[in-house]
Amino acid sequence: MTTSNHERILEQAAAIAPAVFRQAVEQVDLAISITDADANILYVNSAFTRTTGYSSEEVIGQNQSLLSNKSTPNEVYAAMWAQIASGQPWSGRLVNRRKDGSKYLADLMITPVVDRLGAITSYLGIHRDVTLLHQLECEVSGQKALIESVVDAAPVVLALLDTSERVVLDNHEYKKLMGDLRMVEPATLILDAVRADLGHDLAPAREGASAFSEREIRIDSRGMPRWFSCSGIWVQREDGNADNFFSPRRELCLLLVAKETTRQRAEQEKTRMALLQAMTAEDARVDGLRETLSAAVFKIEGPINIMASVLATIERRGGRDPAGLALTEVLAAGRDAINSLRSVIPEHRPESRTAVNINEIMRDVLDLTTTRMLAAGITVHWRPQAVVRSLNAYPSRLRAMFRALVENAIDAMNVKGWNERELRITTRGATGSVDVLVEDSGPGIPAELRLKVFEPFFSTRKAGGRHLGTGLSLAQQVAADHDGVIEIGTSELGGCGVRVALPTSGKASV
């Protein structure tokens, strides 16, 4: 475009601009008024007449305050005048009155108009009737407040999670649980526990479908177990971003509902613990008999093996003297005795493999050994991981194994003159396994004996009163039955530290 053409277009625009501006102002669907510096009306457009009921002839020369309903607080007007008098635009809402006396809510914007010297010559006011909009806002706000009140008053944990499982909405019970868990996100723990209980991920996302329903989960909060009945429902939520206005984007969110059942479960636990204590006492009696008879067989087998070796030597030399014949009879009698003893050794009670929560197992062990620990003056530090994956295991065998480890730790510290008496039990999830650490402040196990203690009927109590003796070989067998391992080392408390690692995906042996 040449310079001369550009200048001609500018001249044409300047000539028609006032007319175009006036037409635009007259036709726009916003009430526009222009006043002098004292708010006396100089001009109003057609939309002003439609909104207020006043014609231009009726208001020109009148002060803008004729629209005031006198119910707007004086502080609002004072703030408005202070701002526009300083040359700054102001926007807000005022209660106005139409010509017929009816009231309406005006959404108003006032802009000062200044001359070349910066002095205010007039004010441009633009407003619209937002009464219906305000009523809708109040209804929506009221409904939102009502829904929030109902949600907050609900005696269940509620949380809405987006596709990344981040909480976008929650209620008072959820915040309370977060405080109990020391700001750990409860939704994450609940979903981890649900997945562990299901053994797989949540059901596929589909609006209105159930992701999971009434799954009872356990969370160990500050060392104490809490139970929840949990359900999850897929719901749809619209994305309110501006770039999605013409192409609405909806995402499926998970509505998580968790009702605490700890009180009801606690009553069941009392009954279960009473039965468990009775069963454990019987198991202890049988285990004691089994160990005594096994030890007797072990002790008798030594001399029998020696006699068999001597007899074999005599026979190789061709000797069949009376002593050899007598030895043969004694050897036969000894083997008969061993077979008799073996036949009366009680077998382990049949047990089926099932899903086991290691925190529950360890809590049972602590409850079963509480009396001994109190009598020995031992301080217990119970540090469970809040949620652990389930094990495919034999619960009674695991319980017996960990009870043996805990009681050995008690024996180690419960000696005269030993002042440091602390027991620390920790559970933690590792990759593909669950670890349990049993640590005490006793004398510990010397490094040279840490492998020998796994031998049947070996006891370190003979060497200075240390612990983890005859029961450890059986504990190692239980761990092996579950494809697990037991490691012995030194604990942070200065005594013995035992780590038991049990796989969460392996199959326990029969």
pLDDT, one tens digit for every residue, the chain (510 residues): 566 665 665 565 556 557 777 788 888 889 999 999 999 999 999 999 999 999 999 999 999 999 998 888 999 999 999 999 999 999 999 999 999 999 999 999 999 999 888 899 999 999 999 999 999 999 988 887 887 788 888 889 999 999 889 998 899 999 999 988 887 889 999 998 898 888 788 888 888 889 999 999 998 877 788 999 999 999 988 766 667 667 667 788 999 999 999 988 888 888 888 888 787 777 777 777 777 777 777 778 778 878 777 777 777 766 566 767 777 777 788 888 878 877 877 776 777 888 899 999 999 999 889 989 999 999 999 999 988 888 899 998 899 889 989 988 998 898 888 888 999 999 998 778 899 999 999 888 888 877 777 776 666 554 444 444 445 777 888 888 899 999 998 999 989 999 999 998 644 333
Dihedrals φ, ψ of 365, to 5°? Answer: -60, -45
Q: Cα separation of 13 and 364, whole Å?
A: 90
Q: Residue 348 carries which side chain, given as an amino acid letter? A: H
494: Cβ contacts below 8 Å, ≥ 6 apart? 420, 441, 444
pLDDT at position 318: 67
Q: Which pLDDT value is given to residue 507? A: 44
Q: What phi, psi does 152 have (nearest 5°)?
A: -70, -30
pLDDT for position 5? 66
Quote the pLDDT of residue 465: 41
Q: Exposed, middle or buried, 159 (CB in 10 Å: 0-12/13-18/19+)?
A: buried
Backbone angles phi, psi at 92, to 5 degrees: 175, -170
SS3 446: coil
What does the pLDDT read at residue 126? 94
Q: Under a CB-based contact definition with an 8 Å cutoff, are residues 79 and 88 in contact? A: no
Sign of the dihedral defined by the CA atoms of residues 111, 112, 113, 116, in that order: negative
Asked if residue 421 lies in contact with residue 441, where contact means CB atoms within 8 angstroms, the answer is yes
Bridging pattern class, strands 485-490 and 496-503: antiparallel
Q: What is the pLDDT of residue 510?
A: 35
Burial of 296 (0-12, 13-18, 19+ CB in 10 A): middle
**pLDDT at position 456:** 64
Q: Are 473 and 452 in contact (CB under 8 A)?
A: no
The secondary structure of 178-234 as a DSSP string is HHHTTT--HHHHHHHHHHHHHTS-PPPP-TT-EEEEEEEEEEEETTEEEEEEEEEEE
Instruction: Give the contacts of 89 (CB within 8 A, at least 6 positions apart).
Output: 83, 109, 110, 111, 112
pLDDT of residue 466: 42
What is the pTM assigned to this prediction? 0.63
Tell me which residue of 39, 45, 41 sits closest to 22, measured CA to CA: 45
Q: What is the pLDDT of residue 441?
A: 92
What domains are there in the chain, each with its CATH number? 3-130 (3.30.450.20), 154-240+249-260 (3.30.450.20), 267-344 (no CATH), 354-503 (3.30.565.10)
| CA atoms of 392 and 478, how far apart (whole Å) | 13
Q: How many CB atoms lie within 10 A of CB 459?
A: 15
Give pLDDT, residue 501: 93
